[in-house]
Amino acid sequence: MQFYGTDISSRLLLGTAQYPSPAILAEAVKSSGSGIITVSLRRESADGSGAGFWDGLRETGCRILPNTAGCHSVQEAVTTAHMARDLFGTPWIKLEVIGHSDTLQPDVFGLVEAARILSDEGFQVFPYTTEDLVVGERLLQAGCEVLMPWGAPIGSGQGLRNPDALRAMRAHFPQVPLIVDAGIGRPSDAAQAMELGMDAVLLNTAVAKAGDPARMAAAMAQAIEAGRAGYEADPMERRDMAVPSTPVLGLAEFA
């Protein structure tokens, strides 16, 4: 699997916010086996107190995927992306343009506009979007090579609220890397996403807020591997009626 021509070793992308301590974050990253971690520019404070956090991220050896979390306009998202590229030294950017304060649903109109601007300026954009196929088409036309549909509102832990739409998205974009982003709460949610044919899962709160973040990170990694294996094994179709697994031929007959 590749994102923008870069080989990816793990299908689990892990966020870095809300952990009880930097040490617990580092332990969770290690347990997850993730090769990509996301970080918000807002974690790097102007007074330099974020230096220790940044040093800890570098020590994980993971590739950094900066994000524009908390941005509510195109201008804010584009400016934040430029600052992140200067700070983290990567053209990768997880693009968020939030349109609704309660659900944190993406503003898909602003998202497409910002994606086009950033792609033209040399960024490799990972857009946090909905499952809408038309929006997905517009993002690809804007220069994106990856789509990140949400599973449920950020931090809600609701799992996949619309699996049928995600399944349709997989069928409509067979060659486009799809990463379920937001809403994953349990390992079973992550496994379900992978069984639908998603290429990867990005999650944060489910691990950071678990009683044992490192153990939950390991469980998520195992679930993602199992889900992907199940998808590749071509599972049986659901049936409306029962079908006996034992052959009728050879059963005893009583006169």
Pairwise CA distance, residues 53 & 22, whole Å? 7
Q: What pairs with residue 63 in β-bridges? A: 36
Q: Measuring CA to CA, how many Å separate 164 from each of 84, 193, 226? A: 35, 11, 20
Q: Which two tokens stand for residue 181?
A: 């982003």
Pairwise CA distance, residues 96 & 94, whole Å? 7
Q: Measuring CA to CA, how many Å separate 51 from each of 45, 78, 102, 107? A: 8, 24, 31, 32
Q: Measuring CA to CA, how many Å separate 184 from each of 24, 83, 120, 156, 240? A: 20, 29, 32, 8, 29
Residue ranges for the known binding site for 1-deoxy-D-xylulose 5-phosphate are 155, 182-183, 204-205
Q: Would residue 94 show up in a list of annotated catalytic residues for this protein?
A: yes
Write b or e for each residue in 211-237: b if 16 or more Cβ atoms lie within 10 A of its Cβ, otherwise e: eebbebbbbbbebbbbbbeebeeeeee
Which DSSP category does 125 fall into?
E
Q: Which two tokens stand for residue 170?
A: 């997989």
Decide: 151 and 159 in contact? Cβ < 8 Å.
Answer: yes
Which residue in 94, 116, 138, 228 is the catalytic one?
94
- By annotation, the residues acting in catalysis are 94
